[in-house]
Structure 1
Amino acid sequence: MGSQSGYDYSFKILLIGDSGVGKSSLLVSFISSHIDGLSPTIGVDFKIKHLIVGGKKLKLTIWDTAGQEKFRTLTSSYFRNAQGIILVYDVTQRETFTNIVEVWVKELELYSTNQDCIKVLVGNKVDKESERVITEEEGIAFAQDYGCYFLECSAKTRANVEKCFAELAHKILQVPSLLEEGSALGKKNTLKQKQGHLGPASGCCSFAG
């Protein structure tokens, strides 16, 4: 399978959260080193990244969703068959953290078709430490309550950005049902790529079990 498609597993990752929390910046920072001049996502966009985790060649199709309410129904269809979901808030904006509970967790529970999907709570914009209103402890407590993994990062400085996606992929690889889904996707290779959305391959990202 890997020799035919160029990867061993294909996983679908979804970025959700309020508009302006930096979802697009996180994704672009992961794909490349340039995040200047980004416009708000209209509806849904996606990018593809190839990387190696735990000795496995992975293809990540990462869906970047609009946070505005008017695009909410459009976004809901993209929860289906996602192996990983990243819930993003802005550590300098209390409302974006509150809405993780009041909006995005509810959306996830309503529309996600995969009970085993790996969830990661991400506090973005830690480069603005002087403006922080949400403590790391609050993020950790929330993640524990809702069964999420947690980390803080900065799309601007790229701190923990690669770690966020690579560790998410590593956790997915540890779940047999998700591994089976990813294997089937890799074999069928049914996800079509939009021209111009193919991201560069990255180096090896290995993590201890």
Structure 2
Amino acid sequence: MLVLAFDTATPAVTAALHDGERVLAESTTIDARRHGELLVPSVREVLREAGASLRDVTAIVAGAGPGPYTGLRVGLVTAQAFALTAGVPAYGVCTLDVLAYASGLDEPFVVATDARRKEVFWARYADMRTRVEGPSVDRPQDVPGGLPVLGAGARMYAEIVGEDRLVPGAADYPAAGALAGLAAERLAAGAPGDDGVLTAPHPIYLRRPDARVPGPPKKVTV
């Protein structure tokens, strides 16, 4: 098994290679404006570091969001293009699930990432592998209370969600090593398609993009 994973659903442009037992190479750059510019070089770097090529990869996994429209599309379109080139399957994984998996928590908690517009994307978990609610998009004050919370959205709105609820040491952004590890775990368990974690590589959109198709020109009468 050789899983190539990457995520562009947040400001983190992250890529990793996993052999089914451990992360062989990983690269992460925090830059919300350069997903398209940074992703392919990051993939090349992890392949080079691991001494592998795209032909060696057996599965490709991309973070499926939720996240901003443009950045999210970069990762998913790249995953589909690489999968077609290599002749291997491509999968998507909810980006919030990656943060949950990386937390290592075995108790209920919430993951929240920045959704812009003074909102957060969030999901509730029974443990690091089990999502029980979401993903959703809401105002920070509407995120379920009474549980530990992690992610960049939680830290950004700590005064609203409660600083005492923040999970110490938890990552703000997803890391491709965790994404690859979660995917490798599910593939080893024989999860071939939509098992609730591994899905088709389609974006998770919880609202319409900011861009709009212009409407017809207004009629001008004399």
> Would the TM-score normalized by the shorter structure come out above 0.5?
no
- TM class by shorter-chain length? 0.3 to 0.5
Higher-helix-fraction structure? 1
Larger RCO, structure (CA 8 Å, separation 6 or more): 1
